[in-house]
Amino acid sequence: MIRMKHAVADSSFYILFYADLEDSKSLHTILNNFKMFIGEKILLELKRYVCQDQNFSKLINDVSSDVDFSLLLKRFYHFLRQEFPQYNNWIMDGEFEAMGISYHLKRQGVLNYLIIDDNDARDFAKRELVSLKDALIRTPTFLHKSCVNGDLDREFVISILKRVKGAIERGKSPFYLDCEGWKKYISPIVDDLMEEFG
């Protein structure tokens, strides 16, 4: 039996599918192909989306009841706010919880991906949580890598990435990108997938 890859994502990964693309079905496909872990704080950020999705709770691994990462991490919030004041705007958000869950999975030797798109949170993880650096990935690169590794279908991934452009044109900001950002960061990934598997 092939072991599913383990991943942790902050809320922006899920919001891409619920709000930007309005496509929970594609999210379900990804959740069926990966063992995705989530905690209380991220669930709270997703509350208005997942309350309408009856399948979500069946497809994710909610670790809130196993380990209260919010409670554990609260002990460090004061220290972090003093030591890293430049990160005060997100230090109590889901990104921090995602890092905590990822660190726990890394210690167990099972973490494959930590999906974070926010630049400040990524910079913090790269500099201060070096053991997570190899797993740290943005959503578009996660989709690309998942396709290359055979975890997701090529047409499926290309479709998602192309629809990101449509979402941007409709005034959304998936991955915090505008049209120029899509051309610079996403279009090359689409081209690469089309050439690589073409």
Give bridge partners of residue 38 from the DSSP assignment.
62
Q: How many residues in total does the chain contain?
A: 198
Quick one: pLDDT at residue 89? Answer: 57
Rounded to a whole number of angstroms, the CA Rg of the chain reads 17
Nearest CA to 140 out of 98, 106, 103, 191 is that of 191
| Alpha helices by DSSP H, 109-186 | 119-128, 139-148, 154-169, 179-181
Phi and psi torsions of 12, nearest 5°: -65, -30
- Given a cut of 70, the residues of the chain with pLDDT beneath it are 1-2, 65-92, 196-198
Q: What is the pLDDT of residues 134-189, one digit of tens each?
A: 999 999 999 999 999 999 999 999 999 999 999 999 999 898 889 999 999 999 99
**Are the beta carbons of 5 and 113 closer than 8 angstroms?**
yes
Quick one: pLDDT at residue 121? Answer: 83
Taking the model in full, what pTM does it have? Answer: 0.88
**Are the beta carbons of 43 and 62 closer than 8 angstroms?**
yes
- Output the DSSP codes for 70-99: HHHHHHHHHHHHHH-GGGTTTTTSHHHHHH
Nearest CA to 144 out of 161, 129, 167, 120 is that of 161
